[in-house]
Amino acid sequence: MPSHQNNFWKDKRITVTGGSGFLGSFVVEELRARGATSIFVPRSADYDLTRLEDQDRMLADSQPDIIIHLAALAGGIGANRARPAEFFYQNLMMGVPLMHKAWQAGVEKFVAIGTICAYPKFTPIPFKEEHLWDGYPEETNAPYGLAKKMLLVQAQAYRQQYGFNAIYLLPVNLYGPRDNFDLETSHVIPALIRKYIEAQERGDDHVTLWGDGSPTREFLYAPDCAKGIVQAAERYDSPEPVNLGSGQEISIRDLAELIARLTGFEGEIIWDTSKPNGQPRRALDTSRAEQFFGWRATTPFEQGLRETIAWFRGNRES
């Protein structure tokens, strides 16, 4: 580990909202690995970040030099369709007032984490950051995507008017150990892993999956993403949004077959085409992250999947 990294983080007070969540837990570990010693993780039981008074209290309690804002209400297509108002309001209110208060409080840097759902429904592949405003997001998660996208507008406006060092990162779909495996709210990889393993245990001869399997997605191993976020927090100071991804595109059908193989599920996969597919294709141009702060993903996809499956098998009781 280069010593300058340890020196950079050694005396910094860092607040990581969402730091006890899936991605946040890896960000906190990465910060510690780079020498950070003062990391404040606000728990939702203590601070409701949709409430302005709780944001004020959190800033007073933590006195941060750097805020990494990961806290979000997130979920798959089903959850976004059922609760679009909550996904819009909660994400907007957790982000916009907090960035404003951080600027008022003299915080040195604000790292805003956006979402791939902010991209237009029909974005040319691979998604380049300059295409972010070329159309309306995919309908099923547009309220969520747009609420998070407002943090980019805010970061650029506050940088322009106040010289505030706010940056905006766009991670692609994440996966890895500690992910959310609740079938009501989980994303595709943990949902597939759980469905296959439980189908095997019940002796089912098939599983039913949403859509027709044709959409493509890109997936980023959460510990790789955490490294990208921390590296950007350390080295990046610019208004341009930056994609964080693996640069590899896979169809949902191929993904379903790959995870079936890795979990040992040998039954039939049935596609329920009455259910929505979501955005047709997603794959990122990840060159900007490498160019601006020297980051790229390093974990091979199959290795990451094996580690995720092993974690789920070992942690099912909880």
Which residue numbers are catalytic?
144
Residue type, 166: A
Distance between CA atoms of residues 54 and 45, nearest Å: 11
35 with 7: CB under 8 angstroms? Answer: yes
Say which residue the tokens 């995720």 belong to: 308
- Hey, CA dihedral for 226, 230, 235, 237, is it positive or negative? positive
- CA separation for the pair 69, 317 (Å, rounded): 30
Element spanning 174, H or E: strand 173-175
Burial of 251 (0-12, 13-18, 19+ CB in 10 A): middle
Q: Name the 3-class secondary structure at 189.
A: helix
Q: Is 63 helix (H, G, I), strand (E, B) or coil?
A: coil
Q: How, if at all, do strands 216-217 and 250-251 pair?
A: antiparallel
User: Which amino acid type is present at position 277?
Assistant: N
Q: What contacts 262, CB < 8 A, 6 or more positions away? A: 302, 305, 306, 309
H/E segment holding residue 206: strand 206-210
